[in-house]
């Protein structure tokens, strides 16, 4: 996923040298947030991720919502 972002021409806050140093020290990996959410939802789907005092969201529910967002059709296109 990181290489796809680089290929898209997106600007990055850190230089390649800084990123290499962060990876060398174990501070960074190549995972994005959705990679972590997938792992957490697989390992503990019912574990509470967030609450606002009136409702709660588990890792499994958050992953489901994230994938529904990703599967939305582009504007003007039918879902199926």
DSSP class per residue in 1-51: -HHHHHHTT---SS-HHHHHHHHHTTS--S--HHHHHHHHHHH-TTSEEEE
Please tell me the predicted confidence (pLDDT) of residue 21. Answer: 93
Please tell me the predicted confidence (pLDDT) of residue 41. Answer: 95
Please tell me the predicted confidence (pLDDT) of residue 2. Answer: 52
Cα–Cα distance for residue pair 42/67, rounded to 1 Å = 14
Please tell me the predicted confidence (pLDDT) of residue 30. Answer: 81
Please tell me the predicted confidence (pLDDT) of residue 33. Answer: 84
Q: Over its length of 80 residues, how does the chain's per-residue pLDDT go in tens digits?
A: 455 555 556 667 888 899 899 999 999 888 888 889 999 999 999 999 999 989 999 999 999 888 877 555 666 666 55
């Amino acid at each position: 996923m990181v290489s796809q972002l680089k290929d898209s021409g997106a600007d990055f806050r850190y230089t390649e040298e800084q990123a290499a140093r962060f990876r060398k020290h174990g501070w960074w990996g190549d995972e994005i947030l959705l990679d972590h959410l997938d792992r957490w939802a697989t390992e503990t789907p019912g574990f509470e991720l967030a609450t606002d005092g009136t409702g709660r969201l588990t890792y499994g529910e958050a992953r489901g919502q994230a994938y529904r967002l990703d599967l939305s059709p582009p504007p003007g296109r039918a879902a199926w």
